[in-house]
A and B are shown apart, each in its own frame.
Chain A
Amino acid sequence: MQNITQIFGSGVPLLLDDIDTDRIIPARFLRCVTFDGLGDHAFEDDRLQDKSHPFDDARFRHGSVLIGGRNFGCGSSREHAPQALMRWGIKAIIAESFAEIFFGNCTTLGIPCVAASRPDLDRLAKAVEENPTRVITIDLLSKQVRSDEIVFGIEILESARSSLTTGNWDFLGQLLDGATSVKQTASQLPYMTGFKA
């Protein structure tokens, strides 16, 4: 797997709190057996009701760094949500905080989710509104976001940062490598042997 140390791209400002995964991808689009085509439906119902939604704003159509608020990705565990964002073109998310399952799903897909303070997010979102083509760099090594004169620190769960930056974010391969130890652990669990004496 590729080492993900830096992400560059222009921004998409969506500074709202408690964006749940039902809003990111409404449940009716989960009637599928692949993730293909989900990108077209990202935020579909929000976009229908808000004609100025950033996902419909031509200025942000090539954006790949999503700027969100608090508790981003809360609710349903559906991986369809990060899959939809990824297929729309999102490569990284900067928000005030993230819901845990969403964060884990993103990490598994190689999408860094980094947390920043509200004033820093406000400043960045405003700057992106003024100049949508400005390039944002998320640097996971120095734990910084840089965009011209704007520079601020970010937080990310250390295990996720380490996995992304060292190319260890495909967990399946690593888990498979532990097969012998798995058998050992399983054999110690009383329910695995039906609680026999």
Chain B
Amino acid sequence: MTDRRNLFNKVWDLHTVRSLAGGQTQLFIGLHLIHEVTSPQAFSILRDRGLTVQYPERTLATVDHIIPTDVQLRPFADGLAEEMMSAIEKNCRDFGIRLFNLDDKRQGVVHIVGPEQGLTQPGMTIACGDSHTSTHGAFGSIAFGIGTSQVADVLATQTLALSRPKVRRIEVTGTLRPGVYAKDVILHIIRKLGVQGGVGYAYEYAGKVFDRMSMEERMTVCNMSIEGGARCGYINPDQTTVDYVRGRPFAPKGTDFDRAATWWLSLASPKDAEFDDYVTFDGSAIEPTVTWGINPAQSVGVNETLPALATFTNDDQKGIRDAFEYMDLKELQPIRGLKINVAFIGSCTNGRISDLREAAAIAKGRHVATGVKALVVPGSQQVREQAISEGLDKIFEAAGFQWREAGCSMCLAMNPDKLQGREVCASSSNRNFKGRQGSPTGRTLLMSPAMVAAAAISGCVSDVRDLL
């Protein structure tokens, strides 16, 4: 009998330790990533219970959420942020965990650093106290976000208590049209399946569109699985995956790498793999997509108008009205031409080198519109160095963008980069929730980095295809 298990179930089975009293699986975690915001209380749990870190070499720490992206001198001006920095430094020292601190060239946003260093590998289970851990699924790993109590579970035991989700295969066929990026693909999927469509599921992204994507594009897609309700999303490993991992600092070397590659490729879902659900989209029909509301499913193609209230069920109309009111928008209004005040390029969704290249291609030889504050925040120090070596920093600065240090920055605004008042931000990040970008009344429009650059230049939501 042939093995018809999909990748998710194969990897899950390989990492299953045993069943717990409640029926959950005790699942081994191959890679644990931690950062300064969701880990301090986990170390307190360990200290309170007199526990040690079971596999310290399987946890990697970095600092990203609270890092200022302008002045990084210690101590930070924000005393609370400084206290969190001191806490992660002490915790890593006391428990023997490797930390990529600010003075380390490998520091950056945790979901950019893991892949960049070759720590993220196919066939692993990967956990982090951050919902965008789904990013690492791009390699064909099972990767998901956890809470702080669970961070303590992983530190103390290298395992978690979890219930196995179902698996939905999302196929995107055809070819993306010029000016349509990975970000548009995932925004389109979330728009169609909804913000809770993926609850209880892992998403397998499959089909021609994903086959052709680079690893960086695949990471953008998997990153936002959680925005569609799926705690994890993945893409089967292929030659693109193997080529990306080869030669990275923490990747296996020589013949070990060859054995690894063979194993990775063997984990991919077979052609006749079984799934709990199937969905198909036509990639050639996807438009540059922009969110207009307060959750990532509330989006339209750039040349569409906002939806009519009457197209929603009575139950849903309350939420839609709330979104219109918060955003100060009306039904049937075009999204194109909507004025912006701030443009943000960065985050674990779109802060990699290919994102900066795409945005720079739009910015080159043009200038940010008067009155618009535009920020480029590379996802890691390595991305920053690479961009500088390609002269992208000069392109951005000449175009009137601020060129910053690596960090999460205005994606969640835990550092000094925040919207003010009712400002509208064209953002390459992942969440347009109320208040997400640091002002309780601030407004976020999610889009691809190229579309953010286009909006920065024109001062309003624009179709990037007019600038290509």
The CA of A34 and the CA of B41, in the complex, are separated in Å by: 6
A176–B231 touching, CB < 8 Å: no
Q: Is A33 close to B, CB under 8 A?
A: yes
CA distance A35 to B40 in the complex (A): 10
Q: How far is A49 from B294 in the complex, measured between Cα atoms in Å?
A: 15
Q: Are A101 and B231 in contact (CB under 8 A)?
A: yes
Partner of A76, one of B83, B131, B295, B319: B131
Does the CB pair B37–A30 fall under 8 Å? yes
A175 touches B15 (CB 8 A): no
Q: What are the residues of chain A within 8 A of B17 when measuring CB–CB?
A: 178, 181-182, 184-185
In the assembled complex, A142 has its CB within 8 A of some CB on chain B = no
**With the chains together, A100 CA to B84 CA distance in Å?**
27
**Which listed residue, B44, B66, B121, B160, touches A34 by the CB 8 Å rule?**
B44
Inter-chain contact B435/A23, CB cutoff 8 Å: yes
Asked if A58 lies at the interface with its beta carbon under 8 angstroms from chain B, I say no
Kindly state whether residue A139 has any CB partner on chain B within 8 Å: no
Asked if B56 is an interface residue, CB under 8 A from chain A, the answer is no
B252 at the interface (CB under 8 A from A): yes
In contact, B147 and A185 (Cβ under 8 angstroms): no
Query: Could you say which residues of chain A place their CB within 8 Å of the CB of B412?
Result: 22, 27, 76
Most chain A beta-carbon neighbours within 10 Å: one of B156, B435, B441: B435
Residues 30-81 (chain B) with a chain A CB within 8 angstroms: 30, 37-38, 40-41, 44-45, 49, 51, 54-55, 65-66, 78, 80-81
Q: Does B440 contact A (CB under 8 A)?
A: yes
CB neighbors of B among A27-55 (8 A): 27-28, 30-35, 45-46, 48-49
State the Cβ distance, A154 to closest chain B Cβ, in Å: 17
Question: Is A45 in contact with B157, judged by CB distance below 8 angstroms?
Answer: no
> Closest chain B residue to A105 by CB distance?
B147
CA–CA, A98 and B195, complex, Å: 11
Minimum CB–CB distance from A118 to chain B (whole Å) comes to 6
- For residue A148, give the distance in angstroms from its CB to the closest CB of chain B: 25
User: How many whole Å from A2's CB to the nearest CB in chain B?
Assistant: 15
Q: Given contacts A79-B148, A108-B149, A191-B124, are A31 and B414 in contact (CB under 8 A)?
A: yes
Contact of A77 with B295 in the complex, beta carbons under 8 Å? no
Asked if B255 is at the interface (CB within 8 A of a chain A CB), the reply is yes
Partner of A171, one of B129, B161, B431, B433: B161
Contacts of A134 in B (CB 8 A): none
- State the Cβ distance, A82 to closest chain B Cβ, in Å: 8
Name B433's contact: one of A23, A169, A175, A197 (CB within 8 Å).
A23
Determine if A20 is an interface residue (Cβ-Cβ < 8 Å).
yes
- The 0/1 profile, CB within 8 Å of A marked 1, for residues 398-439 of chain B is 000000000000001110000000000000000101111010
User: Is there contact, CB below 8 Å, between B121 and A191?
Assistant: yes
Report if B265 contacts A (CB, 8 A): no
Nearest Cβ on chain B to A109's Cβ, whole angstroms: 7
Contacts of A175 in B (CB 8 A): 20, 26, 153, 156-157, 159-161
**A169-189: which have CB < 8 Å to B?**
169, 171-172, 174-176, 178-179, 181-182, 184-186, 188-189
Chain A 94-108, CB-CB to B under 8 Å as 1, else 0, gives 000111110011001
Q: Do B196 and A157 have beta carbons less than 8 Å apart? A: no
A166 lies within 8 A of B196 (CB) = no
26 contacts between A and B (CB under 8 A): A17-B318, A20-B295, A26-B440, A31-B81, A34-B41, A71-B196, A74-B195, A76-B431, A77-B130, A82-B147, A100-B199, A100-B231, A108-B149, A160-B163, A162-B23, A172-B149, A174-B20, A175-B160, A178-B157, A188-B14, A190-B260, A191-B123, A191-B252, A191-B260, A195-B252, A197-B255
Chain A residues at the B interface, C-beta cutoff of 8 Å: 16-18, 20, 22-23, 26-28, 30-35, 45-46, 48-49, 70-71, 74-80, 82, 97-101, 104-105, 108-109, 118, 157-160, 162-163, 166, 168-169, 171-172, 174-176, 178-179, 181-182, 184-186, 188-192, 194-197
Besides the known contacts A18-B195, A34-B40, 20 further A-B residue pairs in the complex with CB atoms under 8 A apart = A16-B322, A22-B412, A26-B435, A27-B412, A27-B438, A28-B438, A75-B431, A75-B433, A76-B131, A77-B129, A79-B149, A105-B147, A160-B163, A166-B21, A168-B20, A171-B150, A172-B156, A178-B18, A184-B17, A195-B257
